[in-house]
């Protein structure tokens, strides 16, 4: 059985179609919080492609709706990518969520569909807080998932991810992964100990996680110790540990067919490709400009699974052919660090995020001492932007690429289908169990145009009352 997918072509410079910079450079409601360095911390498309989600240094999460005209397909208008610095600011945020503390990580619910309000949620983790489940329509907090330390105090996760079917919420902690039932908020969870004296394994803080979408139950996790591991999500068994990165792992991602795992690290120029069937050695390495930064530099695989794109401290969007591991295209997309890149699930679009930490310097200030001011999370760097570039800094940009349609064997792609809608990450049936499904909507006229009609009858959403928890929770002592 085959399905049609969009394969992006990188034989032309992409066209800039949307830009949001004023939000992060003085025009947004939180500019006074960090006026000198309100850089973005990556960008993530919703699974249905209807929305964009960003986090930034001002501790706010922002949701953007993809405009309807983005569906228009035509020849690329720009031969040189356009002047991003002079481009209009034409992508306003529709939702602002104030986390109040530094945002470590965030993740969309994998079954999210704009036509199903119950499924429109995402999770986040911030310093000194439990895991949060946010409503992406109303902006209200749906639920919290609380983990406690040895003295019964709430401890924050350093990373967050959903299982591939969305029924479990995973939090990465020090030498441990805690697994919550998505439908049961509170302090109920199971633990996977990743390292102990009796059972050595993945040492240090679990900094990133990703589930394999091929249905195998494999979970990849990376740690700031520089190691990555593959576990059985169902049993918690540690299958193998992958070593070789020079710095702390900041991202892990499975290939579209589920046979390969890609890992990237801070202060390490290489993205490693591992064959999860034969893990004796690295298949190949892809080099990018990240050897000098502690910042998380995001990479992503385009829908057909043939190419991987990544950012870097040089501001370039670098594209690799995953069949060979060789670079095939490069485009300057930012005037400073390009820290985020993600492809749209099915349109020939990619979103990029940029920026790094800056401090106002006195003339006598030593640059080396300024670099030491970085936080342990590695959220930014002290660098100089290229003033003569046509790109811009601290900005969310959406690019359109030339593309073609290819047919993919579902058996090799590792995804399930529903009719003609192509690969689905997860069924929306699980959305019925999400807490807080009856919260009122705010931006009702959202991006319904991206989702094909008739996916789900909204009348079938189960109502739940946040004021009356459906589970009994144990409160911490004292």
DSSP one-letter string for 246-266 = SS-EEEEEE-TTSSEEEEEET
pLDDT at residue 413 is higher than 70: no
> What is residue 411's predicted lDDT score, i.e. its pLDDT?
58
Determine the average pLDDT of the residues in 438-443: 50
pTM of the predicted model over 0.85:
no
> What is residue 432's predicted lDDT score, i.e. its pLDDT?
54
pLDDT at residue 463 is higher than 50: no
pLDDT at residue 475 is higher than 70: no
Topology (CATH) of 2-358+384-460: Methylamine Dehydrogenase; Chain H (2.130.10)
Count Cβ neighbours within 10 Å for each residue of 354-392 and write b for 16 or more, e otherwise: bbbbbeeeeeeeeeeeebeebeebbbbbbbebeeebbbb
Residue 472 neighbours by CB under 8 Å, 6+ apart: none
* Residue written as token pair 């329509």: 137
Count Cβ neighbours within 10 Å for each residue of 439-459 and write b for 16 or more, e otherwise: beeeeeebbebbbeeebbeee
> What is residue 431's predicted lDDT score, i.e. its pLDDT?
62
> What is residue 200's predicted lDDT score, i.e. its pLDDT?
80
pLDDT at residue 366 is higher than 60: no
Measured distance CA(297)–CA(311) in Å, rounded: 6
- Contact present, 20 and 395 (Cβ < 8 Å): yes
Measured distance CA(249)–CA(268) in Å, rounded: 9
Comparing 204-208, 275-279, 351-355, 395-399, which segment has the lowest mean pLDDT? 275-279
Q: What is the pLDDT of residues 250-301, one digit of tens each?
A: 999 999 999 999 999 999 999 999 999 987 789 999 999 999 999 999 999 9
Most confident of 36-45, 430-439, 455-464: 36-45
Determine the average pLDDT of the residues in 421-429: 39
pLDDT at residue 199 is higher than 70: yes
Comparing 57-61, 324-328, 456-460, which segment has the lowest mean pLDDT? 456-460
Confidence of residue 390 (pLDDT cuts 50, 70, 90): low
């Amino acid at each position: 059985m085959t399905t049609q997918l969009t394969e992006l072509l990188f034989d032309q410079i992409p066209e800039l179609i949307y830009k949001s910079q004023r939000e992060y450079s003085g025009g947004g409601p939180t500019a006074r919080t960090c006026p000198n360095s309100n850089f973005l911390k990556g960008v993530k498309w919703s699974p249905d492609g209807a929305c964009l989600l960003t986090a930034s240094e001002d501790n706010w999460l922002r949701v953007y709706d993809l405009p309807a005209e983005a569906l228009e397909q035509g020849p690329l208008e720009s031969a040189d990518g356009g002047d991003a610095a002079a481009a209009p600011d034409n992508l306003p945020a529709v939702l602002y969520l104030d986390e109040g503390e530094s945002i470590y990580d965030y993740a969309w619910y994998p079954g999210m569909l704009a036509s199903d309000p119950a499924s429109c949620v995402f999770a986040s983790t911030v310093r000194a807080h439990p895991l949060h489940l946010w409503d992406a329509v109303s902006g209200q907090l749906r639920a919290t998932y609380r983990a406690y330390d040895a003295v019964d105090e709430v401890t924050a996760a350093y990373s967050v991810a959903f299982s591939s079917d969305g029924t479990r919420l995973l939090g990465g902690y020090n030498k441990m992964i805690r697994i919550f039932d998505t439908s049961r908020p509170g302090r109920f969870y199971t633990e996977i100990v990743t390292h102990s004296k009796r059972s050595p394994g993945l040492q240090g803080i679990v900094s990133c996680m990703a589930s394999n979408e091929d249905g195998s139950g494999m979970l990849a996790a990376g740690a700031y110790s520089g190691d990555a591991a593959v576990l059985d999500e169902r049993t918690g068994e540690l299958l193998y540990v992958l070593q070789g990165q020079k710095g702390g792992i900041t991202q892990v991602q499975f290939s579209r067919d589920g046979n390969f795992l890609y890992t990237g690290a801070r202060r390490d120029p290489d993205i490693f490709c591992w064959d999860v069937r034969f893990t004796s050695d690295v298949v190949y390495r892809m080099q990018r400009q990240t050897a000098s930064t502690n910042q998380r530099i995001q990479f992503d695989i385009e829908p057909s699974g043939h190419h991987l794109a990544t950012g870097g401290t040089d501001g370039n969007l670098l594209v690799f052919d995953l069949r060979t591991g060789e670079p095939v295209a490069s485009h300057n997309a930012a005037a400073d660090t390009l820290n985020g890149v993600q492809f749209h699930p099915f349109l020939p679009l990619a979103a990029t995020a940029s920026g790094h930490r800056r401090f106002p310097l006195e003339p006598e200030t030593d640059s080396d001492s300024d670099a030491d001011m970085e936080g342990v999370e590695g959220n930014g760097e002290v660098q100089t932007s290229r003033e003569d570039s046509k790109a811009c800094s601290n900005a969310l940009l959406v690019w359109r690429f030339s593309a073609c349609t290819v047919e993919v064997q579902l058996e090799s792609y590792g995804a399930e289908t529903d009719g003609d809608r192509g690969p689905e990450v997860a069924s929306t049936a699980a959305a019925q169990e999400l807490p807080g499904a009856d919260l009122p909507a705010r931006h009702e006229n959202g991006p319904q145009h991206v989702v094909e009609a008739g996916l789900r009858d909204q009348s079938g959403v189960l109502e739940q009352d946040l004021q009356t928890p459906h589970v009994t929770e144990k409160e911490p002592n004292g």
